């Protein structure tokens, strides 16, 4: 190439997508995995990564930047008395305030520092008294289940609020993380998620989790969702395809194990696979039921044990199924099985952890202390991995 050629060639800029620059992934398909009459709404969401250059491995996570619910944005504007049509100067140029509130900032979550910032604007006697009390329990009780608009409604400002001052209180919209439910080998250029909606009533309002309701209720095929992939170095399938896997994934905890099984099928791995799944009802909440039945039939899934907590008078959870199968689980572990747990961190993961210790006492004849050490060793050698939230 001559010098003049090179000078005339337009500079090629390679766009790199990631956390700082999320990729607008097209929604390809959405399926409600719960049946009619379920108390839950769990969506399987398929997104296209075509052209993104983004890659992932089994066990990795997707970060999604959601868009706020339009009704919540409208109510926020009404409560604060701000005008959504106002043009506001941002780093990237001028934008409508309503657009900024929709996608740039978090308008729901509220914490003590935000409360203090608002108090300086509002000059509201009752709010100042609450903060000055330094009574953390009272303040935390007030904050639990509330949003910024509740703060403004309950402690109105003494003077009208100004746009820049309100924007100064709000945090940048944080991404929400989701376990990736697909193997890229089975679905090239795609990423699948399993998302359950978070919805509850608190303080006289119906509350909607920002990202879960965005993904389950406000997007449709053809829309673009801003996302990136994130490597989860502490959670992944064994490199050796012969190694047996025991996977505990109730509720949306099932997501990464769909990816694990797809990967094992795609790579022709021969290791045994044992899945524990649980939810409320067999009829309506058996997520990916047909896929598991197919995998059982063709031998990819060696065993499937399920626990539907509300199908009988007493509650049954995955941790109960684990205890019932103590001897066999111990035997799999003796054969080198990897033990995985994904889902609820509050109850389930703790109970499963204890069940794993109990299995070592009961089946291995270890003291409680030695059993704890054995489980700690499994963790250290990455044979016991957890992805809990």
Ligand X SMILES: Cc1cc2nc3c(=O)[nH]c(=O)nc-3n(C[C@H](O)[C@H](O)[C@H](O)COP(=O)(O)OP(=O)(O)OC[C@H]3O[C@@H](n4cnc5c(N)ncnc54)[C@H](O)[C@@H]3O)c2cc1C
Q: Which of residues 207-246 bind ligand X (CB under 6 A)?
A: 209-212
To ligand X, the closest distance from the beta carbon of 208 in angstroms equals: 7
Nearer to ligand X, 212 or 280 (CB): 212
Nearer to ligand X, 110 or 322 (CB): 110
Nearer to ligand X, 91 or 201 (CB): 201
Nearer to ligand X, 238 or 253 (CB): 253
Nearer to ligand X, 153 or 388 (CB): 388
Q: Which of 97, 122, 148, 195 binds ligand X (CB under 6 A)?
A: 195
Q: Which of 114, 139, 177, 370 binds ligand X (CB under 6 A)?
A: 177
Contacts of 146 (CB under 8 A, 6+ apart): 110, 202, 203
User: Rounded CA gap, 107 and 109, in Å?
Assistant: 6
Asked if 112 touches ligand X (CB under 6 A), the answer is: no
Nearer to ligand X, 48 or 197 (CB): 197
To ligand X, the closest distance from the beta carbon of 323 in angstroms equals: 25
Asked if 72 touches ligand X (CB under 6 A), the answer is: no
Q: Which stretch binds ligand X (CB under 6 A): 12-20, 24-32, 156-164, 172-180?
A: 172-180
To ligand X, the closest distance from the beta carbon of 269 in angstroms equals: 23
Sheet arrangement for strand 303-308: 303-308, 273-279, 245-248, 338-343, 384-388
| Count of positions on this chain that bind ligand X (CB under 6 A) | 21
User: What is the per-residue binding string for ligand X in 132-171, x denoting contact by CB under 6 A?
Assistant: -------------x--------------------------
Q: Which stretch binds ligand X (CB under 6 A): 93-101, 183-191, 192-200, 365-373?
A: 192-200
Asked if 31 touches ligand X (CB under 6 A), the answer is: no
To ligand X, the closest distance from the beta carbon of 255 in angstroms equals: 4
Asked if 331 touches ligand X (CB under 6 A), the answer is: no
Q: Which stretch binds ligand X (CB under 6 A): 17-25, 72-80, 188-196, 279-287?
A: 188-196
Nearer to ligand X, 247 or 359 (CB): 247
User: Rounded CA gap, 270 and 83, in Å?
Assistant: 61
Nearest to 25 by CA among 178, 176, 221, 213: 221
Nearer to ligand X, 60 or 308 (CB): 60
Phi/psi-derived region of residue 304, left when phi > 0, alpha when psi is between -120 and 50, beta in every other case: beta
Asked if 108 touches ligand X (CB under 6 A), the answer is: yes
Asked if 196 touches ligand X (CB under 6 A), the answer is: yes
Asked if 264 touches ligand X (CB under 6 A), the answer is: no
Nearer to ligand X, 209 or 250 (CB): 209
Asked if 80 touches ligand X (CB under 6 A), the answer is: no
Sites of contact with ligand X (CB under 6 A): 61, 108, 145, 176-179, 194-196, 198, 200, 202, 209-212, 252, 255, 387, 389
């Amino acid at each position: 190439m001559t010098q003049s050629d090179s000078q005339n060639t337009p500079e090629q800029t390679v766009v790199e997508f990631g956390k700082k620059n999320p990729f607008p992934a097209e929604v390809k398909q959405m399926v409600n995995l719960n049946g009619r009459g379920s108390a839950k709404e769990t969506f399987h969401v398929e997104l296209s990564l075509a052209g993104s250059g983004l890659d992932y491995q089994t066990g990795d996570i997707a970060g999604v930047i959601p868009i706020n619910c339009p009704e919540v944005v409208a109510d926020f504007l009404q409560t604060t008395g701000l005008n959504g049509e106002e043009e506001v100067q941002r780093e990237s140029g001028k934008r409508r305030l309503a657009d900024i509130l929709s996608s740039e900032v978090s308008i729901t979550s509220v914490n003590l520092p935000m409360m203090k910032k608002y108090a300086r604007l509002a000059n509201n006697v009752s709010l100042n008294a609450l903060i000055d009390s330094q009574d953390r329990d009272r303040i935390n009780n007030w904050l639990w289940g509330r949003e910024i608009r509740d703060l403004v409604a309950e402690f109105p400002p003494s003077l009208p609020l100004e746009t820049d001052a309100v924007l100064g209180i709000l945090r940048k919209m944080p991404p929400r993380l989701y376990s990736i439910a697909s193997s890229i080998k089975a679905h090239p250029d795609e990423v699948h998620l399993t998302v359950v909606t978070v919805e509850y009533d608190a303080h006289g309002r119906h509350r909607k989790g920002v990202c879960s309701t965005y993904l389950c209720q406000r997007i449709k095929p053809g829309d673009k969702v801003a996302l990136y992939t994130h490597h989860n170095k502490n959670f992944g399938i064994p490199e050796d395809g012969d190694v047996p896997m025991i996977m505990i994934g109730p509720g949306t905890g099932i997501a990464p194990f769909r990816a694990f099984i797809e990967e094992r099928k795609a790579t022709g791995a021969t290791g045994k696979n044992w899945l524990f799944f649980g939810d409320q009802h067999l009829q309506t909440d058996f997520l990916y039921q047909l896929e598991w039945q197919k995998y059982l039939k063709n031998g990819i899934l060696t065993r499937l044990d399920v626990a539907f907590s509300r199908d009988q008078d007493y509650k049954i959870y995955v941790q109960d199924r684990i205890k019932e199968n103590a001897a066999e689980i111990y035997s799999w572990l003796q054969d080198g099985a990897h033990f995985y747990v994904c889902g609820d961190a509050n109850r389930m993961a703790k109970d499963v952890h204890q069940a794993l210790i109990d299995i070592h006492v009961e089946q291995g004849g270890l003291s409680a202390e030695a059993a704890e050490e054995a489980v700690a060793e499994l963790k250290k050698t990455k044979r016991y991995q957890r992805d809990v939230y």
